[in-house]
C-alpha cells in the first residue's frame, strides 16, 4: 500500500509525511503484535524495513535509473532528454549529471522532473554509472 505510486506523491509536506509514517508504524505494530512500549524504529530494523521517506527516495532513484537507461515509457524519457548534459569534455560527473532548470515556483519544485534530477545528482558516480539495478 505504501509503495503504490509513491514516486508521484513523494514530495508531500511534512505534516502528511508524518501521518503516513505514523500509519506505517501502527501497521508494523499490528503485524508483529508489538506493544507501544517498543519503539517503532526498533521494530522496523528487526523486520529489515525502511521508513516511508527512505522507501520513497529509493523508489525515486530506481525510477530515475530506469528513465535514464530507457526502460520506461517514452513520455517519462522525454522529460529528461533535454536535461542530459552534453559536455564534450571528460568531466568528473559528466556521465550521470543532469542539467536541470531552476523552477520558478514551489509547485514545480515538487514535480518529479525536478525532484528526480536533484535526487539523481546526489548519487556517487559509481552508483549512477552502474549497469544494472542491483
Question: Is-contact 57 116, C-beta < 8 A?
Answer: no
C-alpha distances out from residue 44 to 17, 47, 54, 55, 64, Å: 17, 5, 12, 12, 26
Query: What's the grid cell of residue 14?
Result: 511534512
pLDDT digits (tens, 9 = 90+) for 90-131: 444 445 556 666 778 887 878 888 888 888 888 888 887 888
Q: Is the dihedral of CA 7, 11, 14, 15 positive or negative?
A: negative
In the chain, what are the domain boundaries?
59-128
What value does the mean pLDDT take over residues 58-86? 78
What value does the mean pLDDT take over residues 1-29? 84
The pTM for the full model equals 0.76
Query: What's the grid cell of residue 25?
Result: 508504524
What is the C-alpha to C-alpha distance for residues 65 and 121, in angstroms, rounded to an integer? 12
Amino acid at each position: 500500500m505504501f509503495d503504490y505510486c509513491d514516486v508521484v506523491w513523494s514530495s508531500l509536506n511534512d505534516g502528511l509525511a508524518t501521518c503516513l509514517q505514523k500509519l506505517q508504524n501502527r501497521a508494523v505494530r499490528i503485524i508483529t503484535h508489538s506493544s507501544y512500549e517498543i519503539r517503532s524504529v526498533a521494530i522496523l530494523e528487526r523486520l529489515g524495513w525502511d521508513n516511508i521517506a527512505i522507501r520513497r527516495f529509493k523508489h525515486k532513484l530506481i525510477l530515475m535509473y530506469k528513465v535514464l537507461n530507457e526502460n520506461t515509457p517514452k513520455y517519462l524519457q522525454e522529460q529528461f532528454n533535454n536535461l542530459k548534459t552534453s559536455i564534450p569534455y571528460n568531466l568528473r560527473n559528466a556521465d550521470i549529471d543532469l542539467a536541470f532548470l531552476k523552477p520558478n515556483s514551489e509547485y514545480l519544485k515538487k514535480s518529479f522532473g525536478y525532484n528526480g534530477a536533484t535526487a539523481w545528482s546526489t548519487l556517487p558516480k559509481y552508483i549512477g554509472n552502474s549497469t544494472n539495478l542491483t
